[in-house]
Amino acid sequence: MEFIQYLIDFILHIDQHLVELVREYKNWIYLILFLIIFCETGLVVTPFLPGDSLLFALGAMAAVPEYGLDLFLLMGLLCIAAILGDSFNYYTGTKIGKRIYLRDFWFMRRKHIDETQKFYEKYGGRTIIYARFMPIVRTFAPFVAGIGNMNYKKFLTYNIVGAIIWIVFFMVVGYMFGNIPAVKRNFTLLIFGIIALSLTPPVIGVVKNWIQNRKKAV
């Protein structure tokens, strides 16, 4: 319970916690951030880790010389972490994905896999790119690609493109706008906004499915 409370506080006040981490761990912060992004994209049991908000906050911090963060080094390392994370997730899906799907584990609900599969049916391989901007779906998409035995070369292409767009977009936006006084004063509200915006597509999908099911029932 304490871990969940800390996680929620970390996400909502990520700018403050990152400052503490940078000051405490200094250059080791690059490794810590690398592992966070790798786990958030590569492990099906950690979709709750911060992604979009973390990248935005890092971009904002990189714009402040006091913190000593190199924007381009961060973007390069985190792109690699995201690419490796999705690749590992894909590999996991090819090896144990079907068994997990049949067992319907608490950390990997069958309905989440089915919802992600619908994204594939609609968008094909581009799902890997689109999913980068959607929490939870971002973690399950490469796993489902592995279950479906998507051609790895095709998967890797979408993986690389999606990782670069995702990392660069949020970090550059954070770098450019994260230190505007109005943004800094309302950083928590901004994080809520990023989370809400990221969750909009999956929520719309759920509502559409609910409406379609209601129509069929009638």
pLDDT digits (tens, 9 = 90+) for 149-195: 888 998 999 999 999 999 999 999 999 988 888 777 777 677 777 76
How confident is the model at residue 84, as a pLDDT?
97
> What are the residue boundaries of the structural domains of the chain, listed by start?
2-210
pTM of the full structure: 0.81
Containing 195, the helix (H) or strand (E) segment is: helix 187-217
130, 37 Cβ separation under 8 angstroms? no
Helix axes 52-62, 71-103, angle to 10 degrees: 170
Model confidence at 212: pLDDT above 70: no
Per the prediction, the chain carries an average pLDDT of 81
Q: Which two tokens stand for residue 204?
A: 């719309």
- pLDDT category at 203 given cuts 50, 70, 90 is low
Q: Label residue 183 exposed, middle or buried (CB < 10 Å: 0-12, 13-18, 19+).
A: middle
34, 77 Cβ separation under 8 angstroms? yes
